[in-house]
Structures are given as structure tokens and as C-alpha cells.
């Protein structure tokens, strides 16, 4: 019996709480309705269309980039144009250059004249294009050019001929049509033609003997070696040094300035020709 009384009391409390919550919800909705503003009366209809919202450019970064280019030094703008000409290997009008790299060639006389006179740029009166040091366009023309330089041609002078010139050089070397030899002084490669009419086979013993030969450093020793082998030296270092001592000059010869053209192509040793004999060994 006591349990039933407690259950009835609990149910009454629940009903009382539910009633209180309902009253609170009703009051809240009525207060929001009273606070809501009344809609303003619509203006009389007019035939004029509402003005379009103002739109700001979303291309600000590009415009700032163009502005920075056009305010850059003349040399920097010229470099941009030459880079485009080099990469594409196409001829561009001034208008096309402006579209490609934002350099206004027609709008700046210094840029125009600088490009027109630049040794790396060719201008035909209407279009600008890249001008390589050697006008070759493919592997066959490259081989013809190298064969004209019996004494060798520096690879650095061929690098800008056309985009895949370095791959063609390696292909010509692999085919045995040219030699690519390195200069130890400048670490530059020199391309030499390999005349197919003169096949050469060298024994391994002769190759080793050739590589082991070390030239004397003193001209006196060189002259003595030449005389031992029955050859007459073109110089007389002993006589020249004796005359220098009599005249009061130092007996030590003055160091001569290296001939750049010679140093690029060869040295007075046999060690700079490993590729030559490696290829001969394989032949």
C-alpha cells in the first residue's frame, strides 16, 4: 500500500513539471512574436532595374606581377624575352612577346633596341627569334659542322644550337662518328670528328706504353730527349739562358701566359685521351 502511494505521488509530480514546461514554452513564443518587427510596406512598383553589385577584380596577383615586370630593369626584361625565345625556338612579334611574358617591347625603346642588337637574338623586321652560335637544326647538320673542325669544337658552343643537341652528341659518340674528350684544365668537353676512312686498331701494350709516358717539365730535358732520338730541337734553351745571364737577366725563364685556345683542346701529356683509346680498344 505504501508503494502505491509513492507511485501516485511521483505521477502527480511529473504532471506538474510537464505543465510548468508547457507554460514556459508558450510564454517564450509569445514574447518572440511581439518583438519581431513588422515588415515595411513595399515601395510602389517602378520599371527601373536594381543596380548590379560592384565586383572587384580577383586577378590582383597577376596584375601585380605584370606591374613588377614592367618596372624591372631593362636587362631583366630582356632576359625574360630571350629565355622565352630560347625555350620555344619560335619567332614572336612584339605583341606575342607581351602576351607570353608581359614585356612591352613596343612600349619601351631601350628594350626594343637592346633585343635588336643582342647577339643571341635575330630580328627580321617583324619578329624576334633566338640566334644560336651555330645554325644547325638536327643531328645530320651537327655532324657536318663537327667534321669541319678537325682541331675540335667546344661543346659549350653547341649547347644552344637546338633543344636536344646534347642527346644527339651522345648518339654520335655512341655510333663512333665523333670523339668527346674532356679538357682537364677547364673540364670542358671538346668534340672531334672521327674520320670513318681511317680505321685504327691499337694493341693494348701500345696503349699502356703511351699512357705511361710522362713528358719532361724542363725544356732542357725535352731537347736532350729529342737529340737522343735523332731529332733536332727547334729551340736552344741552354744558349738562351746563358745569354740571359750575361745580360743580367734572371736565368729562370719567365712564365708564359697560357694560350687559351691551345689549353682548351689539348695538354702536353697523353693522359687527356682516355676516351680515344677506350673506344679504340672496343673496335
35 confidence band (pLDDT: 50, 70, 90): low
What does the pLDDT read at residue 277?
Answer: 56
How many other C-beta atoms lie within 10 A of the C-beta of residue 56? 5
Give me the mean pLDDT over the 191-203 stretch: 78
Point out which residues pair with 122 in neighbouring strands.
129
157 confidence band (pLDDT: 50, 70, 90): very high
- For residue 115, how far is the Cα from the chain centroid? 20
180 pLDDT above the threshold of 70: yes
What does the pLDDT read at residue 98?
Answer: 92
227 pLDDT above the threshold of 60: yes
What does the pLDDT read at residue 172?
Answer: 94
What does the pLDDT read at residue 120?
Answer: 93
79 confidence band (pLDDT: 50, 70, 90): very high
pLDDT averaged over the chain? 78
Give me the mean pLDDT over the 74-92 stretch: 93
Give me the mean pLDDT over the 129-143 stretch: 93
Strands 153-154 and 178-182 turn out to be unpaired
CA pair distance 251, 231, nearest whole angstrom: 26
> Comparing 4-13, 109-118, 273-282, which segment has the lowest mean pLDDT?
273-282
Give me the mean pLDDT over the 20-42 stretch: 59
81 pLDDT above the threshold of 90: yes
Phi, psi of 187 (to 5 degrees): 60, 30
pTM of the complete model: 0.47
How many other C-beta atoms lie within 10 A of the C-beta of residue 123? 15
Task: State the distance between the two ends of the chain, measured CA to CA, in whole angstroms.
Answer: 119
What does the pLDDT read at residue 66?
Answer: 86
Q: Which CATH number fits domain 137-191: 1.20.58, 1.10.10, 1.10.3470, 3.10.290?
A: 1.10.10
34 pLDDT above the threshold of 70: no
- Quote the strand ranges of 165-235, DSSP E: 178-182, 189-193
Amino acid at each position: 500500500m505504501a508503494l502505491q502511494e509513492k507511485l501516485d505521488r511521483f505521477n502527480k509530480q511529473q504532471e506538474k513539471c510537464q505543465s510548468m514546461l508547457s507554460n514556459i514554452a508558450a510564454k517564450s513564443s509569445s514574447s518572440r512574436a511581439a518583438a519581431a518587427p513588422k515588415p515595411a510596406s513595399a515601395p510602389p512598383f517602378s520599371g527601373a532595374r536594381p543596380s548590379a553589385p560592384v565586383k572587384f577584380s580577383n586577378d590582383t596577383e597577376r596584375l601585380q606581377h605584370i606591374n613588377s615586370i614592367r618596372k624591372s630593369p631593362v636587362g631583366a626584361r630582356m632576359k625574360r624575352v630571350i629565355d622565352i625565345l630560347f625555350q620555344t625556338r619560335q619567332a614572336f612579334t612584339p605583341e606575342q612577346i607581351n602576351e607570353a611574358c608581359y614585356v612591352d617591347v613596343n612600349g619601351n625603346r631601350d628594350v626594343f633596341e637592346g633585343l635588336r642588337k643582342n647577339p643571341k637574338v635575330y630580328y627580321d623586321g617583324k619578329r624576334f627569334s633566338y640566334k644560336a652560335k651555330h645554325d644547325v637544326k638536327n643531328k645530320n647538320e651537327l655532324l657536318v659542322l663537327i667534321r669541319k673542325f678537325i682541331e675540335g669544337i667546344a661543346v659549350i658552343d653547341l649547347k644552344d644550337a637546338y633543344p636536344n643537341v646534347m642527346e644527339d652528341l651522345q648518339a654520335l659518340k655512341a655510333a663512333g662518328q665523333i670523339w668527346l674528350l674532356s679538357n682537364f684544365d677547364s673540364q670542358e668537353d671538346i668534340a672531334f670528328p672521327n674520320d670513318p676512312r681511317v680505321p685504327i686498331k691499337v694493341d693494348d701494350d701500345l696503349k699502356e706504353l703511351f699512357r705511361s709516358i710522362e713528358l719532361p717539365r724542363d725544356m732542357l730535358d725535352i731537347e736532350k730527349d729529342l737529340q737522343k732520338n735523332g731529332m733536332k730541337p727547334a729551340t736552344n734553351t741552354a744558349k738562351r739562358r746563358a745569354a740571359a745571364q750575361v745580360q743580367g737577366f734572371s736565368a729562370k725563364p719567365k712564365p708564359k701566359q697560357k694560350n687559351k685556345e691551345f689549353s682548351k683542346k689539348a695538354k702536353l701529356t697523353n693522359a687527356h685521351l682516355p676516351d680515344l683509346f677506350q673506344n679504340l680498344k672496343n673496335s
